[in-house]
Amino acid sequence: MKFTETAIPGVLIIEPRVFTDDRGYFYESYSKSKWLDAGIDVDFVQDNQSLSQKGTVRGLHAQAAPFAQGKLVRVLKGSVMDVAVDARVGSPTYGRHIAVELSAANNLQIWVPAGCLHGFVTLEDNTIFTYKVTNYYNKASEVGVVWNDPALAVGWGIDERDALLSPKDQELPDFDSFRSPFVY
């Protein structure tokens, strides 16, 4: 398992070691001891999974304390453009983002620590996305920013007119109006 730092402190790309043969493949998607060796000591309490059609945008979301969540995300089927935005006030990368394609073919994962907004857009029909989280979901703690805010300049790779969004995601504020509850 290889852990690679990104331009945002704490956001990591994780590349598992994949063993393939005529039968298919095998890899460890998570190993607490390897995470501890990498200096990350977290406890996951919940696994979530979604099935989405091409062009579905989910995000940009987070949860405020005391229910703030770190997320380990990956794709089981299909592909997504995965995005993390640093929303930690005082961070040297506050308001900046990283975007990484995650797919069933590349097996990459992203660690998104608490204090970062997270979202993704599906690039294929019937994409199955899964994530482990470090805290339980709490509706009252939800925060977010509209996915297509020009100030964030995220390259989602889709035409905005083709985006499939929930009503909740359509009503999120832009980043300038967002009052971040996170501190670096």
Q: Answer yes or no: are the C-beta atoms of 181 and 69 closer than 8 Å.
A: no
User: Which residue in the block uniquely carries the two structure tokens 């790309």?
Assistant: 13
Q: What is the pLDDT of residue 54?
A: 97
Q: Which helix (H) or strand (E) holds 130?
A: strand 127-133
Both tokens of residue 167?
Answer: 């009503």
Q: What is the pLDDT of residue 172?
A: 96
What residues act catalytically? Answer: 61, 131
Number of Cβ within a 10 Å radius of residue 168: 10
Going from the first residue of the chain to its last (184 residues), give the mean pLDDT of each consecutive group of 10, the final group possibly shorter.
96 97 95 95 97 97 97 98 98 97 98 98 98 97 96 93 94 95 94
Q: What is the pLDDT of residue 93?
A: 97
Task: For domain 2-17+31-183, give the CATH superfamily.
Answer: Jelly Rolls (2.60.120.10)
Q: Is 69 exposed, middle or buried (0-12, 13-18, 19+ CB in 10 A)?
A: buried
| Among 111, 118, 113, CA closest to 97 | 118
As a whole number of angstroms, the longest Cα–Cα distance in the chain is: 53
Domain boundaries, the chain: 2-17+31-183
Q: What is the pLDDT of residue 131?
A: 96
Q: Answer yes or no: are the C-beta atoms of 26 and 19 closer than 8 Å.
A: yes
Q: Answer yes or no: are the C-beta atoms of 60 and 83 closer than 8 Å.
A: yes
Half-sphere exposure of 75 (CA within 13 A, CB side): 24
